[in-house]
């Protein structure tokens, strides 16, 4: 097994805002990680049509949106945002736009604009209050009937072995120290429902980790080892939490960890995809009719007359 490369040998680019909690530095090393995470671009049940607009939140190097650009019409507008711009791609299609924004504070003029909002791997980025704000903002900028798709990872289960258990304890301390939501993947369906989304769907897939699982397992092993190595900065800024005392000790832990994964078998990491829809306008109108009918104790008419009633209520007649 090749020793884990030390992330601090690279020049790191850490987010500078005190409101940014992202544990993973946004530089070339993270470009590799995001690229390795790419699979199918659109998982939500939507067919993008000419003139639609798509937003990629937390785009990093733009790997996802660049991949999507090859699959959709050039008349689909592709916007991508991140809190840092230093690994935005230098070359990209004319229908693609990169902006430095946080998903917790999107421009007012983006309201009701996007047919699809994509977001991946922000469980190491947002506090609980920021997650709530991010979902509210996402709902606001989606067009009626539009979809959001969220992909979030998890930690390797500690029962995998002693080294997995140890790194799990270190990361749990780190997430708690930063106020992050490590189990957000499990909580997202309820959070989306509370924020008014409909047709919420969640699916968790167990991906094999380690050489025992062949090429895919080896790639995910190296991906995770790179991520954990990149986290050493905030871990040692916090003093190691009494669980690791030096970078050499941390390197040794990561090397033992990857060997533990390689030996397997049955080492998996859960990845969860959640997608949900903003209520279409027609459905919202009928919900409005139902609500107003109850308030004013109006008997609902037949379906054809109900449609007329919807128009009257929504026009304020």
Quote the number of domains for the chain: 2
Q: Does residue 305 lie in a domain region?
A: yes
Q: Is residue 195 located within the same domain as residue 230? A: yes
pTM for this predicted structure: 0.80
Q: What pLDDT score does 27 carry?
A: 46
Structural domain of residue 306, as residue ranges?
Answer: 283-317
Same domain (yes/no): 204, 228:
yes
Q: Of all residues in the chain, what percent carry a pLDDT higher than 90?
A: 55
Looking at residue 258, which CATH number applies to its domain? 3.40.50.150
Whether residue 17 is found in the same domain as residue 54:
yes
pLDDT for residue 196 is more than 80: yes
Within-domain flag for 182: yes
Same domain, 79 and 111: yes
pLDDT of residue 68: 94
| 76, 48 contact by CB (below 8 A) | yes
Both 134 and 230 in one domain: the answer is yes
Q: Does residue 16 lie in a domain region?
A: yes
Reduce the DSSP state of residue 146 to 3 states and report it.
strand
- Examine the domain organization and report whether 33 and 52 are in the same domain: yes
Q: Quote the DSSP letter at residue 243.
A: T
* pLDDT value of residue 49: 96
Q: Is the pLDDT of residue 71 over 90?
A: yes
Kindly state whether residues 231 and 297 are assigned to the same domain: no
Residue 289 and residue 184 in one domain: no
- SS3 letters for 147-163? EEEEEECCCCCHHHCHH
Closest CA relative to residue 120, chosen from 279, 277, 278, 275: 275
Q: Is pLDDT at 38 greater than 60 in this prediction? A: no
Residue 311, CA distances (Å) to 68, 297, 305, 307 in order: 38, 18, 10, 6
Looking at the domain assignment, is residue 2 inside a domain? no
Do the domain assignments include residue 59?
yes
The answer to the question of residue 1 being in a domain is: no
pLDDT in tens, 87-144: 899 999 999 999 999 999 999 999 999 999 999 888 888 999 999 999 999 999 999 9
Q: How confident is the model at residue 32 (pLDDT cuts 50, 70, 90)?
A: very low
Distance CA 251, CA 246 (A): 9
Whether 39 and 149 map to the same domain: the answer is yes
Higher pLDDT, 147 or 27: 147
165 within some domain: yes
Give CA–CA dist 289/314, Å, rounded.
8
Give the pLDDT score at 25. Answer: 55
Regarding whether 298 and 274 lie in a shared domain, the answer is no
Residues 275, 314: one domain? no
In this structure, of 54-63, 239-248, 291-300, the range with the lowest mean pLDDT score is: 291-300
Question: Is residue 31 scored above 70 in pLDDT?
Answer: no
Q: Are residues 262 and 296 in the same domain?
A: no
């Amino acid at each position: 097994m090749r020793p884990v490369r030390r992330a601090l040998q690279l020049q790191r680019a850490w987010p500078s805002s005190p409101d940014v909690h992202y544990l993973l530095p946004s530089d070339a090393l993270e470009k590799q990680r995001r690229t390795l995470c790419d699979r199918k671009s659109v998982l939500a049940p939507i067919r993008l049509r000419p003139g639609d607009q798509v937003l990629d939140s937390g785009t990093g190097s733009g790997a996802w949106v660049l991949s999507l650009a090859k699959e959709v019409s050039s008349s689909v507008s592709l916007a991508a945002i991140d809190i840092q711009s230093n690994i935005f791609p230098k070359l990209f299609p004319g229908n693609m736009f990169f902006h430095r924004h946080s998903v917790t504070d999107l421009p007012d003029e983006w309201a009701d604009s996007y047919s699809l909002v994509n977001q991946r791997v922000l469980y190491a980025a947002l506090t609980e209050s920021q997650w709530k704000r991010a979902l509210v903002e996402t709902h606001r900028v989606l067009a009626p009937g539009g979809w959001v798709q969220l992909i979030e990872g998890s930690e390797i289960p500690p029962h995998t072995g002693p080294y997995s258990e140890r790194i799990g304890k270190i990361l749990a301390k780190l997430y708690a120290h930063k106020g992050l939501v490590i189990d957000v993947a499990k909580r997202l369906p309820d959070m989306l429902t509370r924020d008014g989304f409909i047709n919420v769907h969640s699916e968790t897939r167990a991906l094999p980790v380690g050489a025992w699982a062949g090429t895919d397992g080896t790639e995910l092993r190296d991906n995770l080892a790179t991520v954990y190595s990149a986290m050493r900065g905030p871990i040692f800024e916090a003093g190691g939490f009494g669980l690791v005392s030096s970078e050499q000790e941390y390197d040794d832990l990561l090397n033992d960890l990857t060997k533990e994964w390689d030996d397997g078998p049955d080492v998996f990491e859960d990845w969860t995809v959640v997608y949900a829809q903003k209520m279409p306008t027609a459905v919202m109108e009928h919900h409005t009719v139902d609500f107003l009918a109850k308030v004013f104790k109006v008997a609902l008419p037949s379906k054809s007359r109900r449609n007329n009633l919807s128009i009257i209520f929504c026009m304020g007649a």
